Amino acid sequence: MKLKVVVHEAEEGGYWAEVPAIPGCATQGETFEELLRNLYEAVEGCLAVDIAPIPASSHDRILEIAV
């Protein structure tokens, strides 16, 4: 999966970034390298979803999606 990231220079120094495709997914870092490490963690955390199993019935459909 490829995501566009908008990187900003922080007024107090360092950087902060947001991922427009994932609302609320943002992070910061004192250096650009730290920002990149934090971005991978932030995206992973934003995409982690707990899904409760749904009992199957004769009207259910099972789909597989890629994100």
Q: Is the pLDDT score of 12 beyond 90?
A: yes
What is the per-residue pLDDT across 32-61, written as a single tens digit (0 to 9) for each? Answer: 999 999 999 999 999 886 555 656 665 666
Q: Quick one: tokens of 64?
A: 């597989």
From CA 10, how far away is CA 18, in angstroms rounded?
12
| 55 CB neighbour count, 10 Å cutoff | 5
8 A C-beta contact, residue 43 and residue 36: no
Q: Quick one: tokens of 15?
A: 């950087």
For the entire predicted model, the pTM comes to: 0.68
Which DSSP category does 2 fall into? -
With cut-offs at 50, 70 and 90, classify the pLDDT of residue 8. Answer: very high
What is the per-residue pLDDT across 13-37, written as a single tens digit (0 to 9) for each? Answer: 999 999 999 999 999 999 999 999 9
